């Protein structure tokens, strides 16, 4: 079947009234749970899984997929408005998005996030249609050594994220890595740093960590003094990004799309990696890197475009090879299984209606999301007018419910409170939470990949330099470190 | 007001056991799954719950409490009331393996009431379709000639495929490189990418790749073999004689009144013969074994735990051996 016929078939499936309806339900629910901090797509999709017992497989997958990429749109909303990442992939958006809101520019930030997401998502779907099969095969050449090298590049890139002192953000990065060691050792099943708490055997959950460090800590900070809330309330009329914003952000969007698309394909990589690599790249290429972190539109446009492009392209391994690259896709995988479709490389040949129908529904869904989210921007901004003594308890409540609902675990709620206090102290002492959170995400991938590589090579480190992809990445690490050292030395006053 | 509520709650609790046995169940039953949503155990539990609801005449609410190979849910179960309204659906791991790997807050044979065994996963060992090893014998011969060169991926160190291969390697006299992955999916990715030579895992994860001619199954730990991979050797025909299985079990807290246990057993046995459970089990390559309940199930789990203790010790993973 050539691509043209395939697209026609897919459109036919996606535009059936019932499937249009499921698509709408999916993206609508996705937007809502994206906005509610803590309640993530994984929990929602698994709650809805039993309902899909009774739907057609195509409708079920269209709806579940809609929830996932819908959440990517909604996830940025809380990052921008109240500095709580709705999803892990929106952590970076907090850096400049929240500052934009504090400068009275919440509207343009939200608008740019929605439009950037739409552009990134749509371009990535075109890429998915044309390149799914060859790209999925290429992604297979990433084994443990390649992942280790990629993670090394990411950790070096992480140091570009810091706004304040380099030393402090490195310390936070190391702390994030250390926290990621909590849990059962993968190779020996020995508990590490769990202090006899069985709930910690799988490590500290990312959601309680992020919710605590960002959300609870931010609320504690705001309790301290008179908030300059009149700043938020001004210039409500200016909802959409201005022409100047577009000029500033156009290349960020292009780069964000490319970065997101390719990192999204890698199993395990995905939207989180894409969002912060995009931010680091924007900061590096910017003519005014010192202004990043104070509310620049590029810092929102790049990562938000990238995470949505990655959200779409990460369907490539699932649909073309049947490999679920992360938890969300594992739930989708379960959805396929319930409907008697064996996920695997044959799905594309055996059920072209499913493959192309779901892909085309993503176009429809992205358009719906844009139509849904742009008018909502004004409403979200107005939400900031809600008095803080009402808003903050509500946010805390939603955080607690959200954190509990992930694993139905009380321990997670206690952890969130603990990290809230830690995050509060960190902010008071001038330490940023973003490097910690991102190092925490990358740590387990780094450790696992290193130990798997050494198991494969029988202990020899040469495995990292004898394979072309990892050798090239390692070279990049060296180059980046030298560049970093050189640029720091030539402009010692760069830190603000 | 609060005091009144507390008092009436206390009264209810006192009164409950008297009436409960006869009328059970009078309200919805909660089943905790010790594994994440969307996984094999979760999907099968949800299907079983739907099939059992009619027989019990009450809703069954399935809640995921994932963590530490199912032991988080089992630990919480030991603190729940033995009234039949709180159950756990897990693999045998928290009962037969985890206690040998590390210290836990419960004794699996003292603090639980086993209700029913409702499924068994087929465990398989596979290579890439274009691999030069066409049969299990080929792999063993090659591994013997090239000590320590066989790279083997699996979904975790205490998983059946790893423990069994460790035993086989000791019997056959070869060594291999042990590469754990976080589940079947990343191990499959590594095999397809050519990063490991062989993987072990569940038949349900592998079936699609075998049918698409990307993967070949060489060994299976079932008496019957596989419909979709008839050339695969069974562990019995290979003459290894290793007692190993990954089974799915429903458990309740200890001291569950016998009449309630009997009602639950009957309802779940009934459910394993009904849709949607039968269909979901077939599609996910899960065997529905002859019903095993009560004391017979307890004996079976004891035997399994004893054989896993030996396998875990031989793999050097036993808790007291780790410093």
Q: What is the pLDDT of residues B101-121, one digit of tens each?
A: 888 889 999 999 999 999 998
Tokens found for residue B284: 């996910």
- Tell which A residues from 449 to 468 touch B, by Cβ distance under 8 Å: 452, 455-456, 458
The SS3 of residue A169 is: helix
Question: Considering Cα of A315, then A318, then A320, then A323, what sign does the dihedral take?
Answer: positive
Which residue in B has a C-alpha nearest to residue A333's C-alpha? B38
Contact (CB<8Å) B182/A186: yes
Q: What is the pLDDT of residue B1?
A: 44
* CA B143/CA B258 separation, integer angstroms: 52
Q: What is the pLDDT averaged over residues B178-191?
A: 85
Nearest to A46 among B64, B65, B195 (CB): B64
CA A133 vs. chain centroid, Å, equals 24
Query: What's chain A's Rg over C-alpha atoms?
Result: 22
* Residue B48: partners with Cβ closer than 8 Å, 6 or more residues away: B89, B118, B268, B271, B272, B277
Contact (CB<8Å) B68/A201: yes
Exposed (0-12), middle (13-18) or buried (19+): which is B119, by Cβ within 10 Å?
buried
Contact (CB<8Å) A46/B38: yes
Is B28 in the A-facing interface, judged by CB distances under 8 Å?
no
Phi and psi at B202, nearest 5°, equal -85, 145
Contact (CB<8Å) B179/A186: no
Q: What is the pLDDT of residue A9?
A: 85
Contact (CB<8Å) A330/B39: yes
Is B312 in the A-facing interface, judged by CB distances under 8 Å?
no
Mean confidence (pLDDT) of chain B: 86
Q: Which residues from chain B sit within 8 angstroms of residue A144, using beta carbons?
A: 179, 190, 195
Q: Residue A196 above 70 pLDDT?
A: yes
Closest CA to A364 of A375, A356, A352: A356
Is B102 in the A-facing interface, judged by CB distances under 8 Å?
yes
* CA A249/CA A362 separation, integer angstroms: 24
Give the range among A194-203, A413-422, B79-88 with minimum mean pLDDT: A194-203
Determine what percent of chain A is predicted with pLDDT higher than 90: 9
Residue A414's CB is within 10 A of a number of other CB atoms, namely: 14
Which residue in A has a C-alpha nearest to residue B63's C-alpha? A408
φ/ψ bin of B194: left (φ > 0), alpha (ψ from -120 to 50), beta (otherwise): left
Strand partners, B91: B248
Q: What is the pLDDT of residue A411?
A: 87
Determine what percent of chain B is predicted with pLDDT higher than 90: 39
Which residue in A has a C-alpha nearest to residue B315's C-alpha? A188
User: pLDDT tens digit string along B224-277?
Assistant: 888 888 889 998 888 888 878 889 999 999 999 999 999 999 999 999 998 888
Tokens found for residue A36: 């509610």
Is A141 in the B-facing interface, judged by CB distances under 8 Å?
yes
Q: Which of A329, A331, A337, A410 to mutate to test the interface with B (most CBs of B within 10 A)?
A: A337
Tokens found for residue A39: 């309640």
Q: Residue A183 above 90 pLDDT?
A: no
Q: Residue A234 above 50 pLDDT?
A: no
- Tell which B residues from 141 to 160 touch A, by Cβ distance under 8 Å: 148, 151, 156-158
Q: What is the pLDDT of residue A12?
A: 86
- Find out whether A48 and A413 touch, Cβ atoms under 8 Å: no
* Residue A259: partners with Cβ closer than 8 Å, 6 or more residues away: A274, A277, A278, A281, A306, A309
Residue A310's CB is within 10 A of a number of other CB atoms, namely: 33
* CA A117/CA A110 separation, integer angstroms: 10
- Find out whether B108 and B100 touch, Cβ atoms under 8 Å: no
* Residue B296: partners with Cβ closer than 8 Å, 6 or more residues away: none
* Confidence grade of residue A488 (pLDDT, cut at 50, 70, 90): low
Q: Which residues from chain B sit within 8 angstroms of residue A346, using beta carbons?
A: 208, 211-212
CA distances to A74, A427, B223 from A68, rounded to whole Å, are 10, 32, 42
* CA B14/CA B58 separation, integer angstroms: 23
Tokens found for residue B262: 């009997």
Phi and psi at A322, nearest 5°, equal 80, 20
ipTM for the whole complex: 0.76
- Tell which B residues from 256 to 275 touch A, by Cβ distance under 8 Å: none
A6: distance to nearest CA of chain B, Å?
A: 21
Q: Which residues from chain A sit within 8 angstroms of residue B193, using beta carbons?
A: 140-143
* CA A227/CA A208 separation, integer angstroms: 26
Exposed (0-12), middle (13-18) or buried (19+): which is B93, by Cβ within 10 Å?
buried
Phi and psi at A15, nearest 5°, equal -90, 0
- Find out whether B235 and B252 touch, Cβ atoms under 8 Å: no
Residue indicated by tokens 């790893």: B162
Q: What is the pLDDT of residue B20?
A: 53
Contact (CB<8Å) A334/B37: yes
CA A11 vs. chain centroid, Å, equals 28
* CA B71/CA B130 separation, integer angstroms: 39
User: pLDDT tens digit string along A31-85?
Assistant: 887 777 656 676 677 667 666 767 788 888 888 888 888 887 877 888 888 787 7
Q: What is the pLDDT of residue A358?
A: 85
- Find out whether B249 and B116 touch, Cβ atoms under 8 Å: yes
Most confident of the ranges A107-116, A255-264, B140-149, B231-240: B140-149
Q: What is the pLDDT of residue A495?
A: 41
Residues in chain B: 323
* Confidence grade of residue B86 (pLDDT, cut at 50, 70, 90): very high
Nearest to A187 among B38, B157, B188 (CB): B157
Give the range among A192-196, A344-348, A447-451, B313-317 with minimum mean pLDDT: A344-348
Q: Which stretch of DSSP H or E encloses residue A13?
A: helix A3-14
- Find out whether B287 and B204 touch, Cβ atoms under 8 Å: no
Q: What is the pLDDT averaged over residues A162-171?
A: 74
- Find out whether A236 and A117 touch, Cβ atoms under 8 Å: no
Mean confidence (pLDDT) of chain A: 80
Residue with the bigger pLDDT between A152 and A328: it is A152
A187: distance to nearest CA of chain B, Å?
A: 6
Residue A159's CB is within 10 A of a number of other CB atoms, namely: 17
Strand partners, B31: B62, B87
User: Strands, E, within chain B: which ranges?
Assistant: 29-33, 60-64, 86-91, 112-121, 123-128, 150-154, 176-180, 198-202, 215-220, 233-234, 246-253, 286-287, 292-293
- CA–CA–CA angle A334, A340, A344 (5° rounding): 65
Is A340 in the B-facing interface, judged by CB distances under 8 Å?
yes
Q: Which of A147, A342, A350 to mutate to test the interface with B (most CBs of B within 10 A)?
A: A342
CA distances to A74, A113, A386, B98 from A389, rounded to whole Å, are 24, 28, 8, 47
Q: What is the pLDDT averaged over residues A280-292?
A: 82
CA distances to A70, A75, A85, A388, B29 from A82, rounded to whole Å, are 19, 12, 9, 11, 39
Most confident of the ranges A213-227, A348-362, B26-40, B156-170: B156-170
Residues in chain A: 496
Question: Considering Cα of B258, then B260, then B266, then B268, what sign does the dihedral take?
Answer: negative
Nearest to A345 among B181, B196, B214 (CB): B214
pTM above 0.80?
no
User: pLDDT tens digit string along B15-57?
Assistant: 444 555 668 888 889 999 888 766 678 888 888 988 898 888 8
Q: What is the pLDDT of residue B322?
A: 55
* CA A101/CA A381 separation, integer angstroms: 9
- CA–CA–CA angle A394, A400, A406 (5° rounding): 135
Q: Residue A492 above 50 pLDDT?
A: no
Q: Residue A237 above 60 pLDDT?
A: no
- Tell which B residues from 215 to 254 touch A, by Cβ distance under 8 Å: none
* Confidence grade of residue B128 (pLDDT, cut at 50, 70, 90): very high
Q: Residue A322 above 70 pLDDT?
A: no
- Find out whether A325 and A128 touch, Cβ atoms under 8 Å: no
Q: What is the pLDDT of residue A494?
A: 40
- Find out whether B155 and B204 touch, Cβ atoms under 8 Å: no
Is A140 in the B-facing interface, judged by CB distances under 8 Å?
yes
Q: What is the pLDDT of residue A496?
A: 37
* CA A356/CA A339 separation, integer angstroms: 17
Which residue in B has a C-alpha nearest to residue A447's C-alpha? B181
Q: Residue A164 above 70 pLDDT?
A: no
Phi and psi at B57, nearest 5°, equal 70, 20
The SS3 of residue B198 is: strand
- Find out whether B266 and B252 touch, Cβ atoms under 8 Å: no
Q: What is the pLDDT averaged over residues A254-275?
A: 80
Which residue in B has a C-alpha nearest to residue A324's C-alpha? B185
Q: What is the pLDDT averaged over residues A206-232?
A: 72
Strand partners, B318: none
Most confident of the ranges A30-34, A170-174, A412-416, B279-283: A412-416
Tokens found for residue B71: 């032991």
Which residue in A has a C-alpha nearest to residue B64's C-alpha? A407
- Find out whether A423 and A210 touch, Cβ atoms under 8 Å: no
């Amino acid at each position: 079947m050539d691509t043209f016929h395939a697209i026609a078939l897919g459109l036919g499936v996606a535009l059936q009234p019932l499937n249009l309806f499921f698509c709408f339900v999916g993206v609508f629910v996705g937007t809502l749970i994206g906005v509610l901090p803590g309640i993530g797509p994984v929990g929602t999709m698994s709650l809805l899984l039993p309902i899909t017992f009774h739907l057609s497989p195509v409708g079920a997958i269209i709806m579940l997929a809609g929830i996932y990429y819908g959440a990517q749109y909604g996830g940025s909303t809380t990052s921008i408005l109240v500095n709580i990442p709705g999803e892990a992939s929106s952590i970076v958006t907090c850096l400049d998005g929240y500052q934009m809101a504090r400068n009275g520019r919440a509207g343009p930030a939200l608008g740019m996030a929605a439009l950037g997401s739409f552009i990134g998502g749509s371009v990535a779907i075109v890429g998915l249609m044309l390149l799914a099969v060859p790209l999925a095969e290429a992604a297979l050449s990433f084994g443990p050594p390649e992942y280790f090298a990629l993670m090394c590049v990411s950790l070096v890139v992480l140091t570009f994220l810091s706004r304040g002192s380099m030393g402090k953000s490195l310390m936070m990065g190391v702390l994030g890595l250390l926290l990621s060691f909590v849990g059962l050792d993968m190779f020996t099943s020995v508990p590490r740093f769990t202090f006899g708490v069985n709930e910690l055997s799988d490590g500290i959950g990312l959601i309680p960590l992020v919710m605590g460090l960002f959300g609870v800590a931010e609320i504690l900070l705001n309790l301290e003094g008179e908030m300059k809330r009149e700043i938020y309330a001004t210039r409500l009329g200016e909802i959409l990004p201005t022409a100047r914003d577009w000029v500033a952000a156009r290349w960020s969007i292009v780069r964000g799309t490319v970065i997101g698309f390719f990192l999204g394909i890698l199993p395990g990589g995905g939207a989180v990696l894409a969002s912060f690599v995009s931010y680091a790249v924007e900061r590096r290429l910017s003519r005014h890197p010192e202004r990043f972190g104070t509310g620049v539109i590029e810092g929102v446009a790049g990562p938000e475009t990238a995470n949505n492009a990655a959200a779409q392209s990460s369907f490539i391994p699932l649909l073309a090879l049947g490999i679920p690259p992360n938890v969300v896709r594992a739930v989708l995988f379960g959805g396929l299984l319930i409907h008697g479709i064996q996920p695997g490389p044959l799905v594309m040949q055996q059920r072209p209606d499913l493959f192309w129908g779901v892909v085309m529904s993503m176009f429809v869904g992205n358009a719906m999301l844009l139509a849904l989210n742009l008018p909502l921007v004004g409403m979200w901004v107005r939400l900031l007018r809600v008095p803080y003594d009402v808003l903050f308890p509500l946010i805390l409540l939603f955080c607690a419910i959200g954190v509990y609902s992930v694993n139905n675990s009380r321990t997670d709620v206690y952890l969130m409170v603990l990290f809230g206090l830690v995050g509060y102290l960190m902010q008071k002492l001038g330490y940023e939470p973003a490097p910690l959170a991102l190092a925490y995400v990358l740590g387990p991938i780094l450790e696992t990949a290193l130990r798997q590589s050494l198991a494969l090579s029988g202990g020899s480190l040469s495995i990292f330099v004898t394979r072309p992809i990892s050798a090239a990445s390692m070279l990049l690490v060296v180059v980046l470190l030298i560049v970093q050292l050189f640029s720091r030395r030539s402009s010692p006053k760069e830190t603000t | 007001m609060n005091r009144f509520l507390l008092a009436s709650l206390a009264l209810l609790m006192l009164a409950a056991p008297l009436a409960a046995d006869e009328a059970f169940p009078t309200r919805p039953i909660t089943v905790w799954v010790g594994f994440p949503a969307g996984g094999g155990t979760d999907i099968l539990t949800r299907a079983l719950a739907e099939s059992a609801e009619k027989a019990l005449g009450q809703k069954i609410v399935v809640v995921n409490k994932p963590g530490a190979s199912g032991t988080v849910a089992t630990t919480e179960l030991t603190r729940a009331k033995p009234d039949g309204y709180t159950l756990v659906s897990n693999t045998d791991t928290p009962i037969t393996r985890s206690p040998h790997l590390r210290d836990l807050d419960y004794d699996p044979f003292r603090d639980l009431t086993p209700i029913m065994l409702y499924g068994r996963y087929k465990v398989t060992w596979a290579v890439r379709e274009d691999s030069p090893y066409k049969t299990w014998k080929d792999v063993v011969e090659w591994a013997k000639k090239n000590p320590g060169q066989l790279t083997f991926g699996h979904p975790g160190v205490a998983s059946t495929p790893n423990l069994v291969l460790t035993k086989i390697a000791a019997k056959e006299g070869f060594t291999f490189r042990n590469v754990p992955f976080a589940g079947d999916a990343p191990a499959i990715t590594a095999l397809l990418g050519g990063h490991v030579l062989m993987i072990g895992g569940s038949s349900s994860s592998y079936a699609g790749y075998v049918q698409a001619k990307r993967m070949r199954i060489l060994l299976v730990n079932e008496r019957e073999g596989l419909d979709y991979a008839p050339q695969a050797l069974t562990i019995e025909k290979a003459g290894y004689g290793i007692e190993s299985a990954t089974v799915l079990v429903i458990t309740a807290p200890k001291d569950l009144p016998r009449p309630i246990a009997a009602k639950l057993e009957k309802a779940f046995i009934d459910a394993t013969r009904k849709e949607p459970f039968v269909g979901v089990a077939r599609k996910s390559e899960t065997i529905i074994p002859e019903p095993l309940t009560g004391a017979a199930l307890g004996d079976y789990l004891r035997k399994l735990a004893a054989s896993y203790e030996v396998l875990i010790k031989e793999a050097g993973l036993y808790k007291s051996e780790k410093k």
